[in-house]
Amino acid sequence: MGARKKHAPKRGSLAFSPRKRARSLNPTIKFWPSIESVEVKPLGFAGYKAGMTHVYYVEEYKYSPYVGQEVFAPVTIVETPPLFVLGVNAYVVDEVFNRLRLFKTAYAEEVPDFVRRRIVTLSTATSRLNLEEIEKNLDMIKIIRLLVSTQPIKAGIHKKTPEVFELQLGGGGGVEEQFKYAVDKLGGELDVTEVFKPGDVVDVIAVTKGKGFQGPVKRWGIKLLSHKARKARRKPGALGPWKPSATRYTVPLAGQTGFHRRTIYHIKILDIRDAEQEEGLWPFRRYGVLRSKYLMLKGSVPGPAKRLIKMRFTVRPVDEELMKPVNITYVYRPPH
């Protein structure tokens, strides 16, 4: 065999290898940013993806070639019913293993029945004692997080079992103010307007659409072989050299496609609206009718309709000019 006649880049990216199934539809946020805020606020929120539409808004970014003009933008509608604050988690630093260690968890005294669909064995017997223990040891506690539960029954999604996850607190003067905020919110609801506002830039964490077991052409985008190829066309040209006598992970092979946990950076919130205050119903295919507040996220986000979408303040620097709210002049609502 002769040498290859041309140079071509590798098909597919190894950046997300191994391409395996996500462990859960409720993805964990592995890193939380730090924000400069006088008030204490959670660093993230969650909602359900309803679908996509498009809007027109006036471009006011001074470096844009379309400044002062109406521009088209696809948007994703994420319904965000209020979250129920189920508990407070306090973390200390484990200096031996250089990691965070859970100190105590204090639950709300009255837990709704829909939460017990997710946590059947939840006990609130020692909640008050744990809350007092956290307050006595605030000098050694480094991080305060809210343990929250979604309320899908208040959204248009036909679902009863909630998701339970953590939201880290940021801003304020320190751990003491964050603990007071957590105690005030314990057993109550958290609204999306208490966390985000129009113009904020967020990161979206979600699980992509699952496509099952697929071949290397669809999974990696490799080229079909010639019609003279032996046995098959939809396969890689070679599995590797004789030495080492093993197939390396860089060879494009068949396997799981989709249903991966992914993070999309720098998505702008164009607007936050309340479906209850709008005239008429806004149904979405494969989802239902919007019943609570929803976000308009510029662009697309991972996952199909009804998928849990988590959002946090962006961890990468953003120009302040890009974080200004926009004037939306038109929203497309398909007839139903």
Helix (H, G, I), strand (E, B) or coil at 144: strand
Residue of 328, 250, 329, 314 lying closest to 32 (CA atoms):
314
Q: Where in the chain is the domain with CATH 3.30.1430.10?
A: 83-190
User: Along the 336 residues of the chain, how does pLDDT read in single tens digits?
Assistant: 456 677 777 788 898 889 999 999 999 999 999 998 889 999 999 999 999 999 999 999 999 999 999 999 999 999 999 999 999 999 999 989 999 999 999 999 889 999 999 998 888 888 899 999 999 999 999 999 999 999 999 998 988 999 999 999 999 888 999 999 999 999 999 999 999 999 999 999 999 999 999 999 999 999 899 999 988 999 998 898 899 899 999 999 999 999 999 999 999 999 999 999 998 899 999 999 999 999 999 999 999 999 999 999 999 999 999 999 999 999 999 887
Instruction: Identify the pLDDT of residue 78.
Output: 98
Q: Domain 83-190, what fold?
A: Ribosomal Protein L3; Chain: B; domain 2, (3.30.1430)
Instruction: Identify the pLDDT of residue 3.
Output: 67
| C-beta atoms surrounding 312 within 10 Å | 24
209 touches 254 (CB < 8 A): no
Instruction: Identify the pLDDT of residue 162.
Output: 96
Helix (H, G, I), strand (E, B) or coil at 258: strand
pTM here is: 0.93
291 touches 275 (CB < 8 A): yes
Instruction: Identify the pLDDT of residue 51.
Output: 96
The structure tokens listed for 43 are 């660093």
Segment 151-154 long-range contacts (CB within 8 Å, at least 24 positions apart):
151/81, 151/82, 151/83, 151/84, 151/114, 151/189, 152/48, 152/81, 153/114, 154/81, 154/82, 154/291, 154/292
| Options 2.40.30.10, 2.60.120.10, 2.40.50.140, 1.10.150.120; CATH of 45-81+198-220+256-336 | 2.40.30.10
Instruction: Identify the pLDDT of residue 2.
Output: 59
Give the pairing type, strands 288-289 and 164-170: unpaired
Please tell me the distance from the alpha carbon of residue 183 to that of residue 181, in angstroms, as a whole number. Answer: 6
Q: Where in the chain is the domain with CATH 2.40.30.10?
A: 45-81+198-220+256-336
The structure tokens listed for 277 are 């205050």
Please tell me the distance from the alpha carbon of residue 152 to that of residue 25, in angstroms, as a whole number. Answer: 15
